[in-house]
C-alpha cells in the first residue's frame, strides 16, 4: 500500500536515510491516510538520536528533547522528529521513571497504546495507539495488526490493556474519544481493563481530562459519553452525568429519561464546544429538584438555575477558560426561558440573555425541543422559528433592547440633574425597560423627561424580574 506524503515529509525521511538512519512517518498520519482522510500533522520517528537530527538539519527546535523529540523546520513548516523510544516503569499512571532510546522500530511501536490513533495525539507520543509506520521503501510497518483493526473498526490496546492504562490512565478516556470520533467499537478486553482501571483517572490533571472530554463532545458521536458511564468512567470524572441516568420525566413534553433526552440534544446541535457542553449540562439539575405531584406528573422547578450552578462547578473543576465558563453557564441558565413570539417579548429576552449569546441561545432551545416528545416538536419548532425571525428583524432595524442603545447616556442624565451613583444606574435600567415596551420613547427629549419622573419612584431599586414573563 502506498501513502502519499507531503514533499517536505519525504525530504526529511530521505535526509535521515542518506545519513545512515531509519526514518518513518508514524501514527495518526499513517492511519488517517489509510482511512482516506487528510492528516492534520505528519510526525516522523527515526533511529537517529536528537543531537544527530539537529546535526543533519539546519533549523530545529527542542520541543521535547528530553523525550527524544525535536521539531525540524523546513521553511515555515515544522515536523516533529522523535527518536525510537522504550519507556521505563511508570510510577503515577502518567510519567515513566526513565526514557531510553532504541534503534529498534518494533520496540518503539510497541510503546504506543492503541492500534489506531488520531493525529493530534501524536504530539505527546505517550500511546501505542499509533502502531503503524510508513516510508516509501519499506511500505507500511504493521507489527500489531493495526490494518486489521482499521478494517473492522476496532479500538484495541497493544499488548496487555491493563498495563497500557497503568502507564497513562488518560488512555481510558481517550479510548472513548477515539470511538466517538471514528465510530469504532472498543474490543472486550480493552473495555474490561477500562472499567478495572477507571479509578486511576483521579491521578490525571483536570486540564488533560478537559481536553479529551471536549474532543469527545465535538465528535460525530457525542452520545458515546454514555459508554463512559457504562464503563464506570464518568463516575470518576463527571458523576453529575451518572445522576441523570434513568431519571424519568413524566410530563406532556417528554417521553425520554433525562440522560436519553440529553444524548439526543447533544447530537441535535452543531459540534461547537460551548454548545455541546451546554447541552450536556442543561438538565443536570433535574434529578436534584424533581418532584412528583398528586396527578403523577413530574415537575422540575427552577432546574435551569440549579443546572447552571452545577455547570459552573464542573467547568471550574475541569479548569475551563473563563469565556467558555461564562457562556455555558448563561446558556444553561436561560435555556428554559419562556417568552412569546412577539417583538416586545423577544426584546425582553435579548435584554435578559444577552446579545452576544442570543443566536447560540436559539440553537440551544432548538436542540432542546428536538429531544422532546415527537408530538410537540413541530409546534415548538415553528414557534422558535418565528422568534428567530423577530430577533433578526430587531437587529436589522437597530431596535433598542439594552442600555447602550438608549438615545441618552449617563452623562446626559447627570447634566439633567440626576446624581451619579446607584440611582443613575437604576434610572437607566428603568428607561431601558420602558423603551423595550415602546420604541417610540427612544428619543433624548422623551427619555430625559421620563427620567425626571421615575427617579423619585420608590420602587426604582426593585429587581426587574417583574418585567419579564416567566
**DSSP, residue by residue, 277-321:** HHHHHTTTTHHHH-EE-TTS-EE-TTHHHHHHHHHHHHHHHTT--
The Cβ of residue 249 has, within 10 Å, a number of other Cβ atoms equal to 20
Q: What pLDDT score was predicted for residue 145?
A: 83
Is the pLDDT at 90 greater than 60, yes or no?
no
pLDDT tens by residue, 103-128: 555 555 555 554 433 222 223 333 34
Report helix, strand or coil for 87: strand
Comparing CA positions, the residue from 279, 270, 331 lying closest to residue 305 is 331
Comparing CA positions, the residue from 303, 279, 241 lying closest to residue 365 is 279
Q: How confident is the model at residue 465 (pLDDT cuts 50, 70, 90)?
A: very low
Per-residue cell: 151: 478494517
**Rounded average pLDDT over 337-365:** 97
CA distances from 280 to 259, 283, 299 (A): 9, 8, 20
Q: How confident is the model at residue 458 (pLDDT cuts 50, 70, 90)?
A: low
Gap between the Cα atoms of 69 and 5, Å rounded = 20
- Indicate the pairing of strand 43-46 with strand 23-26: antiparallel
**Rounded average pLDDT over 425-452:** 96
Side-chain half-sphere exposure of 435, counting CA atoms within 13 A: 27
Give the dihedral sign, CA 143/147/152/154.
positive
CA 70 to chain centre: 30
Q: What pLDDT score was predicted for residue 160?
A: 85
What CATH number labels 238-396? 1.10.3210
- 428 within 8 A of 396, measured Cβ to Cβ: no
- Mean pLDDT, the chain, rounded, equals 89
pLDDT tens by residue, 376-408: 999 999 999 999 999 999 999 999 999 999 999
Third-level CATH fold of 7-217? Beta Polymerase; domain 2 (3.30.460)
- pTM listed for this prediction: 0.86
Q: Where in the chain is the domain with CATH 1.10.3210?
A: 238-396
Q: Where in the chain is the domain with CATH 3.30.460.10?
A: 7-217
418 DSSP assignment: P
27 or 81, greater pLDDT? 81
pLDDT tens by residue, 287-308: 999 999 989 999 999 999 999 9
CA distances from 90 to 67, 87, 96, 166 (A): 14, 8, 4, 7
Amino acid at each position: 500500500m502506498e501513502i502519499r506524503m507531503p514533499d517536505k515529509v519525504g525530504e526529511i525521511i530521505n535526509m535521515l536515510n542518506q545519513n545512515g538512519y531509519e526514518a518513518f512517518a508514524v501514527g495518526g498520519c499513517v492511519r488517517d491516510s489509510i482511512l482516506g482522510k487528510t492528516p492534520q500533522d505528519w510526525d516522523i520517528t527515526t533511529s537517529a538520536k536528537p543531537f544527530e537530527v539537529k546535526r543533519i538539519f539546519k533549523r530545529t527546535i527542542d520541543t521535547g528533547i528530553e523525550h527524544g523529540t525535536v521539531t525540524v523546520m523546513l521553511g515555515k513548516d515544522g515536523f516533529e522528529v522523535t527518536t525510537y523510544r522504550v519507556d521505563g516503569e511508570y510510577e503515577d499512571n502518567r510519567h515513566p521513571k526513565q526514557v531510553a532510546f532504541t534503534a529498534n522500530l518494533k520496540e518503539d511501536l510497541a510503546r504506543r497504546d492503541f492500534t489506531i490513533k488520531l493525529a493530534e495525539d501524536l504530539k505527546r507520543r505517550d500511546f501505542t495507539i499509533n502502531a503503524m509506520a510508513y516510508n516509501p521503501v519499506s511500505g507500511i510497518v504493521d507489527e500489531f495488526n493495526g490494518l486489521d483493526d482499521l478494517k473492522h473498526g476496532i479500538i484495541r490496546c497493544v499488548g496487555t490493556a491493563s498495563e497500557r492504562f497503568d502507564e497513562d490512565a488518560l488512555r481510558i478516556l481517550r479510548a472513548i474519544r477515539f470511538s466517538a470520533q471514528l465510530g469504532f467499537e472498543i474490543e472486550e478486553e480493552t473495555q474490561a481493563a477500562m472499567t478495572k482501571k477507571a479509578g486511576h483517572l483521579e491521578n490525571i490533571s483536570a486540564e488533560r481530562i478537559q481536553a479529551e472530554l471536549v474532543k469527545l463532545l465535538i465528535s460525530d458521536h457525542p452520545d458515546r459519553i454514555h459508554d463512559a458511564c457504562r464503563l464506570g468512567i464518568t463516575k470518576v470524572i463527571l458523576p453529575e452525568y451518572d445522576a441523570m441516568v434513568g431519571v424519568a420525566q413524566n410530563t406532556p413534553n417528554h417521553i425520554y429519561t433525562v440522560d436519553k433526552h440529553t444524548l439526543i440534544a447533544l447530537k441535535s446541535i452543531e459540534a461547537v464546544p460551548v454548545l455541546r457542553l451546554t447541552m450536556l449540562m442543561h438538565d443536570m439539575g433535574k434529578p436534584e429538584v424533581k418532584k412528583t405531584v398528586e396527578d403523577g406528573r413530574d415537575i422540575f422547578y427552577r432546574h435551569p438555575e440549579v443546572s447552571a450552578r452545577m455547570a459552573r462547578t464542573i467547568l471550574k473543576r475541569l479548569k475551563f477558560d473563563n469565556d467558555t465558563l461564562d457562556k455555558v453557564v448563561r446558556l444553561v441558565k436561560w435555556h428554559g426561558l419562556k417568552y412569546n413570539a412577539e417583538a416586545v417579548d423577544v426584546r425582553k429576552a435579548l435584554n435578559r440573555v444577552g446579545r452576544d449569546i442570543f443566536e447560540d441561545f436559539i440553537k440551544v432551545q432548538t436542540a432542546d425541543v428536538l429531544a422532546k416528545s415527537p408530538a410537540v416538536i413541530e409546534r415548538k419548532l415553528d414557534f422558535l422559528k418565528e422568534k428567530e425571525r423577530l430577533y433578526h428583524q430587531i437587529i436589522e432595524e437597530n431596535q433598542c433592547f439594552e442600555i447602550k442603545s438608549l438615545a441618552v447616556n449617563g452623562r446626559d442624565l447627570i447634566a439633567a440633574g440626576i446624581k451619579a451613583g446607584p440611582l443613575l444606574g437604576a434610572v437607566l435600567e428603568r428607561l431601558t425597560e420602558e423603551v423595550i415596551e415602546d420604541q417610540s420613547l427612544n428619543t433624548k427629549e422623551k427619555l430625559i423627561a421620563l427620567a425626571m419622573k421615575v427617579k423619585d419612584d420608590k420602587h426604582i431599586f426593585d429587581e426587574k424580574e417583574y418585567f419579564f414573563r416567566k
